[in-house]
Structure 1
Amino acid sequence: MQAAVTPIPVPEIAQRAEQVPPALRSVEQIATGSDVQEIEAELPAAAAWIRGRLVGTTQALASSPSANALATLTDSWRVMRSRLATWNDTLTRRATQLAQGAEQLEVMRATWLASRAKALESRAPAPVIERIDATLAAIVTAQRGAAERLTHVLGVQDRVVREIARCDDVLSKVAQAGATLAGPLLSRDSVPIWSPEARTPISTDLGGRLHESVGDGIELTREFLAGHLARAPLQLGLFVVVLVLARLARTAARRRAEQEPSEQATALVFELPVSSALVLALLATGWIYPEPPRVLLDVMGLLILLPAVLIVRRLASPAVAPAVYALAAFFLVDRVRDVCAVVPVLEQWVFLFEMVSGIVFLALALRSEQLLTDAGDQAAFGWRRLIAWILWAQLSILVAAVFTGALGDMRLARLLGGAVLTSSYVALVLYAGVRVGEGLVAYVLRAGPLRQLLMVQRHRALLQRRIDLALRWLSIVTWVYLTLDGLGVMDSIWSAGTMALGARYSRGSVSLSLADVVAFGLTVWAAFLLSSFVRFVLGEDVYPRVGLPRGVPYAVSTLTHYAIVLAGFVFAVAALGVDLNRITILAGAFGVGIGIGLQNVVANFVSGLILLLERRIHVGDSVQIGDLQGQVREIGSRASTIRTWDGAEVIVPNARLTSEPVTNWTLSDRLRRVDLNVAVVYAADPERVLDILRTVARAHPKALADPAPLALCTGFADSALNFELRVWTARFEEGDSVLSQLAVDVHAALIAARIEIAFQRREIHIRNGAREQPACLALETDGGSSS
C-alpha cells in the first residue's frame, strides 16, 4: 500500500527544487555504471567458449574418459560457471539499485504532483508553477532513462542466467559420468590392447583434441590465478622469507657441522637454499589458494619436482639416487598421460608403457644389493627387509595394473598404478619438505630472539624434538590422506565418518551425537594441553625474570591451570550442545544437595585455594603435622602429598593442613638448629669442656657463624655434668648429618683432652648383720654392661 504523499509547502518550492538535480544525478550514475558494459562486452566470448567446449565435452564423455579427464572438465566448467555467477551477482546488485532508484523517482514525482495541485489550489504565482513543471519534467525524463537501463540490465542478466544453466547442465552430465566411472571396478571400460581399435590409436582429430586439452588447462590456470591475484604475494612472500632464512642458516649450519658432526644432515639441507624455499612455498599452494583446480596442482607438482629431487639426492644415500630420478621420470610420464586422457586409447598405451617401465625398474631394484644398502651395509631408508617388502608389493601392484589395463579394465588399472605412483611421489615431496622444515626449526631455535628465551636455552633439544615430531606426524597424516584420496576411497571414508559422527542419541530432552562427544573430548584435551604449555612458559621463562616471593610462582601456575581448565570445560559443554542457562539452573537446584553430599571434598578444595593464596605452606617445605614429618611435594586441588624422611608418600587432605597445627620448619628460611647433649664426669673442668665444645663447633664447615654456636652447662645429673652444644646450619635437610658429625668430633676432642665421658653409676648397700658395718658395692653401667 503506497504511503500518503505530503505536498511541499509553497514557500519551500524553490529550495526543494534545488535539491532535485543532485538526486537525479545520483540515480543517473547508477544507471550508467561501467561494470554492466564490461559484462556485456565479455559475454559473447563466454557464450562462444561454452558453445565450443560443449562439443568437445560431449565427445569426451562419450569416449569413457578417465577420472583425471573428468576432473579437468569439471574444473574448467566450474571456473566458467563461477565467472558467470560473479557476473550474475553484479547484475543483480545493479538491477536492485536501479529498481530502488526508480522507486525513489516515483516517490519524488508523486510528491511534486501533489505539490503542484496544492500550489494551484492556493493560487501560487506563475513562476512557482513553472518551477514545479520543470522539476516534474526532469523527474519523468530520469524515470524513463532508469526504466530503460533497468530493462537492459535485466536482459543481460537473463542471457547470463541462460549460460549458467548450460554450464549446470554440462556439470551434471560430467558428474553423472563420474558416478558411472565410480561403478564396479571389475568391469571393462576400454578396449583390450589386441583389438583393432587399440592398434590404431591415432585418429584424425587427435592433434586438435590434445591441443584443446592443453589449451583448456592453460586457460583454466590463468583464469584461476587471475581471480586470486591477491593471494599471490602471500606465496611469493613465503618464498622470500624461507630463502632469506635458508641463506642465513647455511653459514650457521656449516659452522655447527664443523663443531658437531651430528649436525651434518641439517647443514646439507641449506646447501640448496633456493630449492628449500621453492619446496615450502609450493607445498603451501593448497593452503594459500582455496580449492585450486587439478591442473594448477599438477603444475605445482611439476614445479616442485626438481627442487625436491635435488634435496633428497643430497640428503639420501647415493645408492638410492637412481630411485629418486626414476620416480621423477615416472611422474613426468604420468602428467603426459593425464594430457592424453582426452584420447582414451592413447592414454591406455601411455599407461601400459609407464607401468611396464616401472616393473622393469623395480625388478632391477630388487636384484641390486647396492640400491637396497649403502656402503656400510645398512638400509638406505630403514631396514632392508622392509624396503624389500615395499618393493615387492609395488611390483605386484604394477603387474596387476598392466594385466587389468591390457584387458581393458582401465578403471581398476588406473586405481592400482596411480596409487603406487602418487603415494611414492607424495612421500618424496613430503620427505623433502619435512627435512627443510626441520632444518629451519633448528636454525630458528638457535638464532634471533628465540635464542634469548630461557626455555629455549634450557630445553632447545626437547623443543626441537617435539616440533620435528609434529612435522613428521603432519606429513604422515597428509601422505595417508592423499594416498587414500588417490585410491578413491577418501570420499567414502569421509562420508562414513560424517554419518558416524552425525549419529544422534535422543532420550527426552537429552540429545547427543558422537560429534558432540568428540568435540567435548577434544576441547577438554586442548584445554589441558594449553594449560601445560602456559605453565611451561611461565615456569621456564617468566618466573626466572621476575622477582616473585617464594610460593607465588606455584600459586600463579596452579590458579592459571584451574582457570584454563574451567574455561575449557565451559567451552566443551557449549560444544556438546548443552544450553549453559540450563546448566546454571541445574547447578543452582542441585547446589545444596551436592554441597551436603560432597562437603568434605568442597572443604578440601577450598582449603587448597587457601593454601595457595595465603602461602603459609609451599612446595618443598619441611613440615610436621602431629607425628607426620616430611617434605611437601605437591599441593593439589583436594589433597597434598608429603614425602616422609623414610621415603613414604602420604596423602594428606588439605582441610587438615588448615585446621590442625602445622610446624613449618622452612617457612621463612631453611636454617635449622641442632642440639648435641654431652655428659662428662664430675672431675672434669666445666670451662675446659665448654671451650672444647665451642672449638669443635667453630671448626665444623657447615656450622654458621651467625647465629654463633652456643655451648651451655645445663645442670648436674646423678653421675655426670650435663652440657649442650647448639649449632645452626644453613640447610634444614642436613641437620641430622651435621649432628652426627658434631658428635663424632666432640667425642674425639674429649678423648684427646683426656676428659672422661660420664656413664650411669649405681651404688648398692648390703647389710650383713646388725653389728657389722654395711658393705658398699658400686655398679657402673655402660650400654648394658656392669662391673
Structure 2
Amino acid sequence: MDPKEIIDFLQTAARSVGAEVTSPWFYLQLGLILAAAGIAYAAEAALRARFDTTALTMRWPVPLRRLARVLIGSFSTALFALLIIAARVVMAHSTWPSRSYLLVVAAKLAIAWLLIRLFTSVIRNAFLVKVISLSAWLVAALSIIGQLDPAIEMLDSVSVVLGGLRLTPLLVIKLALLLILALWLTNIASNFAESRINRSTDLTPSIQVLLVKMIRLGLMVVAVAIALSAVGINLSALAVFSGAVGVGIGIGLQKIVANFISGIILLADKSVKPGDLVTIGDSSGRISAMKTRYISVAAGDGREFLIPNEDLVTQKVTNWTYTDKNTLVKVNFATNYDADPRRVCKLAIEIAAAAPRAIKSRTPNCILVEFAEAGMKFSLTFWIADPDGMDNVKSDVMLALWEAFKRESIRVPYPVREIRVRGGTLPVDTTVEVSS
C-alpha cells in the first residue's frame, strides 16, 4: 500500500465518520449504549454486594469455582449485550435497520469479549490471560467492523529482508502468539512430567532434577521449532545468525553457559543434591533447590544464598551429608591448673555421652591439648547422627560443662592484666590487677 492509497483511505474514512457524527441517530445509539453500560455496571455491583463468591463456591471443585468467578465477573458484559440486543430489536421494528448499526457493532463486541473470557478461564497465568484476551478481542473487533483484511494487508506490506528471511509485522505477531501458546502448552506438559518424576521413589533427588531440566529444555526447543515452522520460517534461513550467536555466547554469555554446564555436571556426578547440608565459603545451609543457573542454600535464619553453579565446580565445597550424615562435634574448653585433668576428661565424656543427640554406639573422647599460659586446654569430641542444628548441640554440651564445673569447683581460667602506675595519686610501684 503506497502513501497515496493510505491518504485516500484516510480521507474516505474521515468523510464517513463526519457524515455519521452529524446524524441524530448516532447520538441516540450512543446514548443507548452509555445507558446500557451504566445499568450493567450497577447491576454487577449490586450482585457482588449481595453474594460472596468465595464463600458460595468454597466446596466446589476448582474448575467450577474458577468458572463461577469468571461468570460473575462477566455478568455486566452479558447484561450489557442483552440490553443492546433488546434496543436493537426495538429500533429495527421502529425505523430503518441502518439507523441502529452502532448497536449491532456494540453487541457483537460485547459477545466476543464474553466468549473470549469464558474460553480463557481455563488458563491460570493472569498475564497470559490478558495477552490472549486482548489479542483475540482486537482481531474480533477488526473482523466485526470489516477492517481485518485491510489491517492484515497493511501489516504484511512492510517487510525487512535479512538473508533469506522476510520479516514483516504480521509475521512477528503470528510468531509471538504461537510462541506464547506453544510455551504455555510446554509448561503444562513439563509440570505434569515433573509431578510424575518427583513421585518416583526409584530415582534420587539429583536424577529427578536432571530429568526435569532435560525434559523442560527439550520441550522448549521443540515448541520453538514448531512455532517457527508454523509461520513459514525455514530453520535453515536462521543460519545467517549462527555466527553472531556464537560470538555472543562466547563473549557475553560465558558465565550463563558455564553455570548451565556446571549445573548439568553437578546433577550428573551427584556431588550435591537437594537436602544436603553444605558449606561454601562463608555460606552454610541446606540445599533447597537446584536451578539451571544457581543453587539455593537455605540458612537457618530465614536467608537463602543463591550460589552460581560454577562456584560449586571450581571452589571448595564442604558437603556434610555426602556419603554419611554422622558428624563429629568438637568442643574446645580450658580449666585452671588446680583441676585434675583426668577428672576433667572423665566429666566431659560423661556429659557428652548424656547429650540427647549423641550417638550411643560411638564413645566420646576428651584429650588434653596444651598446657597454656592461662590454663590447661582440652578438646572434647563426640558424634551426632545429623549435622543439622550442630551449633545448638555444642551450646547444650558447653552449658552442661559449665554447670558441672560449678558443681565440682573447677574454675575456668580468665586473663589477668597488671597495670603499674608510676606517679599520680597512687603510691609508686603500686600494682593494680584488672580482670577481664
Tell me which interval the TM-score lies in, with the shorter structure as reference length. Answer: 0.5 to 0.7
For residue 331 of structure 2, give the secondary structure of its aligned residue in structure 1.
strand
In structure 1, what is the Cα distance between the partners aligned to 2:190 and 2:364? Answer: 43
Matched with 2:180 is: 525
For residue 617 of structure 1, give the secondary structure of its aligned residue in structure 2.
coil
Structure 2 residue 411 is the aligned partner of structure 1 residue 756: yes
In structure 1, what is the Cα distance between the partners aligned to 2:194 and 2:287? Answer: 19
Indicate which of 191, 207, 212 corresponds to 1:552.
207
Indicate which of 492, 511, 529 corresponds to 2:146.
492
| 1:475-499 residue CA offsets vs partner (Å, 9 max, x unmatched) | x97xx97xx79xx952625435533
Kept in 2: contact 1:673–1:735 (CA 8 A): no
Matched with 2:90 is: 402
In structure 2, what is the Cα distance between the partners aligned to 1:715 and 1:370? Answer: 86
Kept in 2: contact 1:622–1:665 (CA 8 A): yes
Kept in 2: contact 1:372–1:387 (CA 8 A): no
1:763-774 residue pairs with structure 2 within 5 A?
Answer: none
| 1:594-651 residue CA offsets vs partner (Å, 9 max, x unmatched) | 5366555544433232222222123444433444545545544445555667766655
Matched with 1:678 is: 333
How has the CA–CA distance of structure 1 residues 370 and 574 changed in structure 2, closer, same or farther, with 3 Å as cutoff?
A: closer
How has the CA–CA distance of structure 1 residues 466 and 618 changed in structure 2, closer, same or farther, with 3 Å as cutoff?
A: farther
For residue 388 of structure 2, give the secondary structure of its aligned residue in structure 1.
helix
1:558 to partner: Cα distance? 1.7
How has the CA–CA distance of structure 1 residues 387 and 578 changed in structure 2, closer, same or farther, with 3 Å as cutoff?
A: closer
In structure 1, what is the Cα distance between the partners aligned to 2:327 and 2:281? Answer: 19
Amino acid at match of 2:214: L
For residue 624 of structure 1, give the secondary structure of its aligned residue in structure 2.
strand
Matched with 2:10 is: none
1:109-120 residue pairs with structure 2 within 5 A?
Answer: none
Matched with 2:278 is: 623
In structure 1, what is the Cα distance between the partners aligned to 2:234 and 2:80? Answer: 57
1:600-611 residue pairs with structure 2 within 5 A?
Answer: 600-611=255-266
Kept in 1: contact 2:274–2:288 (CA 8 A): yes
Q: Return 5+ residue gaps in structure 2 as ranges.
A: 1-15, 21-31, 54-67, 421-428
Structure 2 residue 372 is the aligned partner of structure 1 residue 717: yes
In structure 2, what is the Cα distance between the partners aligned to 1:678 and 1:421? Answer: 84
In structure 2, what is the Cα distance between the partners aligned to 1:709 and 1:634? Answer: 35
1:56-455 residue pairs with structure 2 within 5 A?
Answer: 398=86, 402-403=90-91, 405-407=93-95, 409-413=96-100, 416=103
How has the CA–CA distance of structure 1 residues 619 and 753 changed in structure 2, closer, same or farther, with 3 Å as cutoff?
A: same
In structure 2, what is the Cα distance between the partners aligned to 1:379 and 1:546? Answer: 43
Indicate which of 378, 389, 400 corresponds to 1:734.
389
Matched with 2:26 is: none
Amino acid at match of 1:490: I
In structure 2, what is the Cα distance between the partners aligned to 1:651 and 1:370? Answer: 51
In structure 1, what is the Cα distance between the partners aligned to 2:219 and 2:78? Answer: 46
Amino acid at match of 1:406: S
How has the CA–CA distance of structure 1 residues 423 and 466 changed in structure 2, closer, same or farther, with 3 Å as cutoff?
A: closer
Coordinate RMSD, CA, aligned: 5.4
Amino acid at match of 1:492: G
1:512 to partner: Cα distance? 0.9
1:734 to partner: Cα distance? 0.6
1:720 to partner: Cα distance? 2.5
How has the CA–CA distance of structure 1 residues 659 and 378 changed in structure 2, closer, same or farther, with 3 Å as cutoff?
A: closer
In structure 2, what is the Cα distance between the partners aligned to 1:543 and 1:387? Answer: 41
What TM-score do the two structures reach when normalised by structure 2?
Answer: 0.63
Matched with 2:316 is: 661
In structure 2, what is the Cα distance between the partners aligned to 1:698 and 1:736? Answer: 17
Amino acid at match of 2:321: T
How has the CA–CA distance of structure 1 residues 608 and 379 changed in structure 2, closer, same or farther, with 3 Å as cutoff?
A: closer
Structure with bigger strand share is 2
Kept in 2: contact 1:401–1:413 (CA 8 A): no
How has the CA–CA distance of structure 1 residues 558 and 527 changed in structure 2, closer, same or farther, with 3 Å as cutoff?
A: farther
1:664 to partner: Cα distance? 2.2
1:372 to partner: Cα distance? 9.8
Amino acid at match of 1:560: I
Structure 2 residue 354 is the aligned partner of structure 1 residue 699: yes
Matched with 1:613 is: 268
Matched with 1:248 is: none
More divergent stretch after superposition (646-655 vs 751-760): 646-655
Kept in 1: contact 2:190–2:219 (CA 8 A): no
- Count matched residues: 372
In structure 2, what is the Cα distance between the partners aligned to 1:603 and 1:370? Answer: 59
How has the CA–CA distance of structure 1 residues 557 and 370 changed in structure 2, closer, same or farther, with 3 Å as cutoff?
A: closer
1:689 to partner: Cα distance? 2.6
For residue 733 of structure 1, give the secondary structure of its aligned residue in structure 2.
coil
Structure 2 residue 195 is the aligned partner of structure 1 residue 507: no
Q: Return 5+ residue gaps in structure 1 as ranges.
A: 1-182, 188-358, 438-464, 766-774
In structure 2, what is the Cα distance between the partners aligned to 1:730 and 1:724? Answer: 20
In structure 2, what is the Cα distance between the partners aligned to 1:392 and 1:582? Answer: 49
What TM-score do the two structures reach when normalised by structure 1?
Answer: 0.38
| 1:385-436 residue CA offsets vs partner (Å, 9 max, x unmatched) | x9899879966875575356423x1244487379769978x97xx8xxx8xx
In structure 1, what is the Cα distance between the partners aligned to 2:91 and 2:218? Answer: 63
Structure with bigger helix share is 1
In structure 1, what is the Cα distance between the partners aligned to 2:278 and 2:148? Answer: 58
Kept in 1: contact 2:418–2:433 (CA 8 A): yes
For residue 367 of structure 2, give the secondary structure of its aligned residue in structure 1.
strand
Matched with 1:569 is: 224
How has the CA–CA distance of structure 1 residues 643 and 503 changed in structure 2, closer, same or farther, with 3 Å as cutoff?
A: farther
In structure 1, what is the Cα distance between the partners aligned to 2:388 and 2:253? Answer: 38
In structure 2, what is the Cα distance between the partners aligned to 1:671 and 1:740? Answer: 18
1:559 to partner: Cα distance? 2.2
The percent identity for this pair of structures is 25
How has the CA–CA distance of structure 1 residues 422 and 533 changed in structure 2, closer, same or farther, with 3 Å as cutoff?
A: closer
In structure 2, what is the Cα distance between the partners aligned to 1:468 and 1:594? Answer: 34
If you compute each CA radius of gyration, which structure gives the higher value, 1 or 2?
Answer: 1
1:551 to partner: Cα distance? 1.4
For residue 732 of structure 1, give the secondary structure of its aligned residue in structure 2.
coil
